Amino acid sequence: MNENILRDLLAKIYDEEILYFDNLPQFQVSLHHRIAMKRIFNLFEKNSHNIANNPQPISHSKHTHLSLSKRLIIIFVLIICATLMAGFIFCYISNNFHGTIYTDYTELFAINAENCPETIEYEYCLTDLPNKFELTERNFSLYLGVYTLYRNDISGKEIAFSQYPKKAFGGQFNTEKHKFEDIEINGHGGLYIEFSNSSIIFWDNGDYILEIDSNLPKDELIFLAESAKVLEK
């Protein structure tokens, strides 16, 4: 094989490889992944809370003292960083939620958390689940909330229903290319956000924050939300 044939062959292989990567579908975060990450963050917050309430003994090892000039430089750099970051951070306020808007996500909390249950004193359930949806997972935490996952094995559709004490609710939502929409569920204010392959709807029912995360259409999510009732035991 001469040099020209080898060069042409390598160029053809290179073009085919580039074409393959150019035609790859856009990456989509699955519902399973987002639910798993939500549980990881909840566990992290719980561990952080435990560490804060049980501080480690203070070490008495020797520390190197920085000179005055070095400390001034560090303070100056921190001020510059804080000033730059302030240009990318905004406040978000709706009827029942407030938070901070960052460049690629928004962190939200419940506004009115006073005089509300701090634990799961009674549990809610979805009374009008679509046909062929079966309960596949359930996690209960008295202080962090209740999480239930329903799945239709035929269609591959999933419904994740969560109930949080208001003080335990703290959601981080991808708002880089998505926007919140104000909604009302049974007279209570809430928010809806739609992603490329799923949607989230959550609302303050007066005592708790209820949330549905699913790949069902918006109208079905609202119907499900309005069917939420206290679980009879």
Does 176 or 124 have the greater pLDDT score?
Answer: 124
Binned at pLDDT 50, 70 and 90, residue 61 comes out as very low
* Per-residue pLDDT, 39: 57
Does 135 or 22 have the greater pLDDT score?
Answer: 135
Mean pLDDT of 98-108: 91
**Whole-angstrom Cα distance, residue 143 to residue 189?**
23
Give me the amino acid identity at 43. Answer: L
pTM of the predicted structure, to 2 decimals: 0.65
* Per-residue pLDDT, 50: 59
**Whole-angstrom Cα distance, residue 122 to residue 206?**
13
The DSSP line for 150-173 is: EE-TTT--EEEEEEEEGGG--EEE
- Whether residue 211 is predicted with pLDDT greater than 60 in this model: the reply is yes
- Whether residue 120 is predicted with pLDDT greater than 70 in this model: the reply is yes
**Whole-angstrom Cα distance, residue 137 to residue 231?**
17
**Whole-angstrom Cα distance, residue 12 to residue 16?**
6
- Whether residue 216 is predicted with pLDDT greater than 90 in this model: the reply is yes
Task: Output the average pLDDT for the chain.
Answer: 81
Binned at pLDDT 50, 70 and 90, residue 158 comes out as very high
- Whether residue 54 is predicted with pLDDT greater than 70 in this model: the reply is no
Binned at pLDDT 50, 70 and 90, residue 23 comes out as low
* Per-residue pLDDT, 114: 87
**Whole-angstrom Cα distance, residue 109 to residue 171?**
7
Please give the domain boundaries of the chain with CATH numbers for all domains.
111-169+177-230 (3.30.200.100)
| Token code pair at residue 190 | 């809430």
Binned at pLDDT 50, 70 and 90, residue 35 comes out as low
Answer whether 100's CB lies under 8 Å from 107's CB: yes
Binned at pLDDT 50, 70 and 90, residue 11 comes out as confident
Does 61 or 180 have the greater pLDDT score?
Answer: 180
Mean pLDDT of 163-173: 93
Answer whether 150's CB lies under 8 Å from 136's CB: yes
